[in-house]
């Protein structure tokens, strides 16, 4: 019967086999190839940047670089040890400020607001704050904390000011992920807790927060990853230093947090434009280390996100 109808098989059923030569299948293949080509183009800059940073910075990496401070312009030797420590200190300060505020704000929006006008204002403000350029947070902290500390204590740039500037960038991400994570908790869990006499506070602390922990942790890690790579806020707040944050643990609490501190991002900004080969090499090494740190944080965030979907 094949010569009687091309659309029927020998058994009389419709012929559903793939026909590569018809126009719609040719168009589908062309569109698939186009989409794949544009996807490769979109990912290609990432691989080129990573490859170039690995070639320029990874080849110069050594253990000694993590044990020394950045050298002044024109001098030999030195490393990125103090800048790496400064980045960690600034990130910890920012996390200590942003995590309680962000998680608390997300809990209020998800558990206590009930669609009131104030909660709508908080959500609108969070969306606006997440889109504000990072340099604005640095200028704000400079105009408040840095200028005020200079007037009161005769101190200007400090690690605390830098951490506060970075915390402003972290708070919107943490609020959003906490809010959305708590909304994903089944309502039956809350009703069950209320049914056995638990208060709303106990329900939040014992039921909803533990259930939404992977989502909240993902937002925290993403916020830290964003803050760790920022440069503009730190130029106005933490400035830069060629020395270790403190010579001893006691000096760290009394002097280190209240003095200018170095960071990887500002080191890259300062050294990349210097006309000295050593400083430019250290800038590439710092770029490599910073990219690896942010890559690890993003991988941790994706791993936590997978825990949420299970």
Instruction: Walk along the chain (310 residues) and give the pLDDT tens digit of each residue.
Output: 444 445 555 556 666 676 777 888 888 889 999 999 999 999 998 889 888 888 888 878 888 888 888 888 877 778 888 899 999 999 999 999 999 999 999 999 888 887 678 888 888 888 888 888 889 999 999 999 888 888 877 778 888 999 999 999 999 999 999 998 888 888 888 888 888 888 888 888 888 888 888 888 888 988 898 888 889 899 999 888 888 886 655 566 666 678 888 899 999 998 888 888 888 888 999 999 998 888 888 888 888 777 766 6
pLDDT of 4 reads: 42
Local structure of residue 272 (DSSP, 8 states): T
- For the chain, the structural domain boundaries read 61-309
Helix (H) or strand (E) holding 51: helix 23-57
Task: Please list, in sequence order, all residues whose beta carbon lies within 8 angstroms of the beta carbon of residue 181, skipping any fewer than 6 positions away.
Answer: 106, 212, 214, 215, 216, 218, 219, 308
Q: What are phi and psi of 14, to 5 degrees?
A: -60, 140
CA atoms within 13 A on the CB side of 88: 10
The reported pLDDT for the residue numbered 91 is 93
Centroid of chain to Cα 216: 13
Tokens of 12: 């009389």
Token pair listed for 66: 């993590």
**Beta-bridge mates of residue 14:** 8
Q: What confidence score (pLDDT) does residue 3 get?
A: 41
pLDDT of residue 118: 84
Q: E strand or H helix at 110, and its extent?
A: none
Phi, psi (5° rounding) for residue 248?
Answer: -150, 170
Fold of 61-309: MetI-like fold (1.10.3720)
Question: Considering only CA atoms, which of 278, 242, 252 is closest in space to residue 81?
Answer: 242
pLDDT at 41: 94
Q: In the chain, what is the straight-line distance between the N-terminal and C-terminal CA atoms, in Å? A: 52
């Amino acid at each position: 019967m094949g010569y009687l109808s091309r659309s029927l098989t020998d058994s009389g059923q419709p012929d559903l086999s793939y026909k590569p030569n018809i126009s719609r299948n040719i168009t589908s293949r062309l569109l698939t190839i186009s989409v794949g080509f544009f996807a490769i183009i979109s990912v290609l800059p990432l691989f080129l940047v990573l490859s170039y940073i690995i070639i320029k910075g990874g080849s110069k990496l050594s253990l000694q670089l993590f044990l020394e401070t950045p050298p002044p312009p024109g001098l030999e030797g030195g490393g990125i040890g103090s800048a790496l420590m400064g980045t960690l200190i600034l990130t910890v300060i920012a996390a200590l400020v942003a995590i309680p505020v962000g998680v608390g704000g997300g809990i209020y929006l998800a558990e206590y607001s009930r669609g009131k006008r104030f909660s709508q204002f908080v959500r609108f403000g969070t969306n606006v704050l997440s889109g504000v350029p990072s340099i604005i947070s640095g200028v704000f902290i400079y105009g408040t904390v840095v200028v005020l500390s200079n007037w009161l204590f005769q101190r200007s740039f400090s690690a605390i000011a830098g951490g506060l500037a970075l915390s402003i960038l972290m708070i919107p991400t943490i609020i959003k992920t906490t809010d959305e994570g708590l909304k994903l908790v089944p309502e039956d869990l809350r009703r069950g807790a209320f049914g056995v006499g638990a208060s709303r506070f106990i329900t939040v602390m014992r039921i909803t927060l533990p259930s939404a922990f992977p989502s909240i942790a993902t937002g925290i890690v993403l916020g830290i990853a964003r803050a760790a790579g920022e440069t503009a806020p730190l130029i106005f707040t933490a400035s830069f230093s060629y020395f270790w944050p403190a010579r001893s643990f006691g000096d760290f609490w009394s002097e280190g947090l209240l003095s200018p501190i170095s960071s990887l991002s500002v080191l890259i900004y300062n050294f990349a434009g210097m006309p000295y080969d050593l400083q430019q090499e250290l800038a590439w090494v710092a770029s490599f280390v910073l990219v690896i740190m942010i890559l690890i944080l993003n991988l941790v965030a994706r791993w936590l996100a997978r825990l949420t979907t299970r």
